[in-house]
Amino acid sequence: MKDTIITAKRKKTEIITFIACFLLANIVNLYAIIHYKTPMKELFTQLGYVLLFTIGLYVGWSILRIVFYYAKRLFTKQKR
Protein backbone atom coordinates (compact mmCIF):
# COMPACT_ATOMS: atom_id res chain seq x y z
CA MET A 1 0.00 0.00 0.00
CA LYS A 2 1.29 3.45 -0.88
CA ASP A 3 2.24 5.73 2.02
CA THR A 4 0.77 9.20 1.89
CA ILE A 5 1.97 12.33 3.61
CA ILE A 6 -0.34 15.04 4.85
CA THR A 7 1.51 18.33 4.82
CA ALA A 8 1.34 20.91 7.58
CA LYS A 9 -0.26 23.34 5.14
CA ARG A 10 -3.08 20.87 4.38
CA LYS A 11 -3.65 20.23 8.10
CA LYS A 12 -3.82 23.97 8.77
CA THR A 13 -6.25 24.45 5.89
CA GLU A 14 -8.54 21.69 7.18
CA ILE A 15 -8.48 23.02 10.74
CA ILE A 16 -9.35 26.52 9.53
CA THR A 17 -12.16 25.08 7.40
CA PHE A 18 -13.56 23.15 10.37
CA ILE A 19 -13.37 26.23 12.61
CA ALA A 20 -15.18 28.28 9.96
CA CYS A 21 -17.93 25.63 9.82
CA PHE A 22 -18.16 25.68 13.63
CA LEU A 23 -18.48 29.48 13.67
CA LEU A 24 -21.15 29.36 10.97
CA ALA A 25 -23.10 26.73 12.93
CA ASN A 26 -22.89 28.89 16.07
CA ILE A 27 -24.11 31.93 14.16
CA VAL A 28 -27.08 29.92 12.88
CA ASN A 29 -27.78 28.76 16.44
CA LEU A 30 -27.55 32.31 17.77
CA TYR A 31 -29.92 33.51 15.06
CA ALA A 32 -32.42 30.80 16.02
CA ILE A 33 -32.15 31.73 19.70
CA ILE A 34 -32.82 35.39 18.96
CA HIS A 35 -35.54 34.70 16.39
CA TYR A 36 -37.52 32.32 18.61
CA LYS A 37 -36.82 34.36 21.75
CA THR A 38 -35.45 31.45 23.77
CA PRO A 39 -33.05 31.75 26.73
CA MET A 40 -29.40 32.44 25.93
CA LYS A 41 -28.37 29.38 27.94
CA GLU A 42 -29.34 27.36 24.87
CA LEU A 43 -26.18 28.66 23.27
CA PHE A 44 -24.34 26.18 25.53
CA THR A 45 -26.95 23.49 26.07
CA GLN A 46 -27.39 22.93 22.34
CA LEU A 47 -23.66 22.59 21.71
CA GLY A 48 -24.05 18.92 20.75
CA TYR A 49 -26.47 19.81 17.96
CA VAL A 50 -24.16 22.62 16.87
CA LEU A 51 -21.29 20.14 16.67
CA LEU A 52 -23.39 17.74 14.57
CA PHE A 53 -24.37 20.61 12.28
CA THR A 54 -20.68 21.58 12.07
CA ILE A 55 -19.71 18.07 11.01
CA GLY A 56 -22.51 18.06 8.42
CA LEU A 57 -21.32 21.39 7.01
CA TYR A 58 -17.72 20.16 6.90
CA VAL A 59 -18.65 16.92 5.13
CA GLY A 60 -20.84 18.82 2.64
CA TRP A 61 -18.08 21.34 1.96
CA SER A 62 -15.54 18.52 1.54
CA ILE A 63 -17.76 16.75 -0.98
CA LEU A 64 -18.14 19.98 -2.97
CA ARG A 65 -14.36 20.49 -2.97
CA ILE A 66 -13.78 16.92 -4.18
CA VAL A 67 -16.35 17.30 -6.98
CA PHE A 68 -14.82 20.60 -8.15
CA TYR A 69 -11.29 19.15 -7.94
CA TYR A 70 -12.16 16.18 -10.13
CA ALA A 71 -14.21 18.31 -12.54
CA LYS A 72 -11.27 20.69 -12.91
CA ARG A 73 -8.91 17.75 -13.41
CA LEU A 74 -11.21 16.22 -16.00
CA PHE A 75 -11.45 19.41 -18.05
CA THR A 76 -7.73 20.19 -17.91
CA LYS A 77 -6.83 16.69 -19.16
CA GLN A 78 -9.16 17.07 -22.16
CA LYS A 79 -7.41 20.24 -23.32
CA ARG A 80 -4.03 18.51 -23.73
Q: What angle do CA 34, 40, 46 make, to 5 degrees?
A: 95
Q: How confident is the model at residue 2 (pLDDT cuts 50, 70, 90)?
A: confident
Q: pTM here?
A: 0.85
Section 63-78 average pLDDT? 90
| pLDDT 10s digits, 35-44 | 999 999 999 9
Q: b/e string for 45-72 if b means 16 or more Cβ within 10 A?
A: ebeeebeebbeebbeeeeeeeeeeeeee
Q: Which phi and psi angles does 11 have, rounded to 5°? A: -60, -45
Higher pLDDT, 47 or 74: 47
Section 30-39 average pLDDT? 97
Q: What is the pLDDT of residue 80?
A: 52
